[in-house]
Structure 1
Amino acid sequence: MSEAAKILESARQRGAAQGLPYTGAVTPAEAQQLLSALPNAKLVDVRTHAEWAFVGVVPGAELIEWKRYPGMMPNPDFLTQLKAAVDPESVVLFMCRSGARSHDAAVLAAAHGYATALNVLEGFEGDKDATEHRGRVNGWKVAGLPWVQG
């Protein structure tokens, strides 16, 4: 079994254990491994334009807001934009700041035919630390994975 297949199986097991309505969940490191190993894997960053500009982005990620800045109202075009950018047969990795919006995006994608929808646990910035700051405990950036300043 390939490393990518093992990661996907772990993701499915996590998803089943949590009763997720989509394929499952991966750590940031696992997401990066899937992106490197699978030509049909796509990272979809569902944070806002402001987050991409001021916090940073993963090179090559599809940038589709789940909620629109500044009002944080749902993006009514999300599904249309997703369908235009990502094949439903792809392995789709959804990421946000901490894993909440990306969970919602994965739920919607799975309900609309995306066969392998995965949530990236911890997100780009991760959980808050004891002083209420992100980007220090866990997440994509803390894991030292590729990203650039927006």
Structure 2
Amino acid sequence: MKKILLSFLFLSTLLFASVKDEEASQALIDSKMPIVDIRTPSEWKETGLLQGSIPIMLFDEKGKYDLNDFLQKLNSAIDTKKPFAIICRTGSRTKILASFLSQKMNYEVVNIKSGIVYAKYLKLPILPYQAN
């Protein structure tokens, strides 16, 4: 009986949680889907933010992170019951985070796979970072 229940829980997680890999695009910006930028404040200052992005740092400059703090800020900033996108510099951090958020939190996540670097290359609207 336990095996059946565990199998059901595993399958239901697969059905409800998903990660979609997508490149940054004007269509994504126009969709008004929340885009969470997980880079550091120094990275935001250096490159700016993709139009409409919400800056919520995950890893600091030393590579350390506070997952509980990040999740609290994420859940305060957006409705995580709906799909949202995440972006970093090149997509490496978001690839890991997207998988976690999907598998462990059952969030529907769009991983912007080539990050802000590719968004800048495409000349998508990038706005200067304004610290609160």
- TM bracket, shorter-chain basis: 0.7 to 0.9
Distance in 1 of aligned mates of 2:19 and 2:86:
12
Distance in 2 of aligned mates of 1:109 and 1:86:
14
Distance in 2 of aligned mates of 1:103 and 1:112:
15
Per residue, is there more helix in 1 or in 2? 2
Greater RCO, CA 8 A, separation 6+? 2
- Counting matched residue pairs gives 111
After the TM superposition, which parts of structure 1 deviate over 6 Å for at least 4 consecutive aligned residues? none
Over residues 81-122 of structure 1, what are the superposed CA-to-partner deviations in whole Å (9 max), with x where a residue is unaligned?
A: 1111111222211100000111122123222131x2010011
Alignment pair present for 1:59 and 2:51: yes
In the alignment, is the contact (CA less than 8 A) between 1:96 and 1:102 conserved in 2? yes
SS class of match (2:97)? helix
Any stretches of 5+ residues in structure 2 without a counterpart? 1-16
Any stretches of 5+ residues in structure 1 without a counterpart? 1-20, 126-138
Seq. identity, %: 25
Asked which structure has the greater CA Rg, the reply is: 2
SS class of match (1:107)? helix
Normalised TM-score (structure 1): 0.67
After superposition, residues 19-98 of structure 1 pair within 5 angstroms as 22-29=18-25, 32-37=26-31, 39=32, 41-69=33-61, 71-76=62-67, 77-98=69-90
Distance in 1 of aligned mates of 2:78 and 2:66:
17
Normalised TM-score (structure 2): 0.75
Alpha-carbon RMSD: 1.7
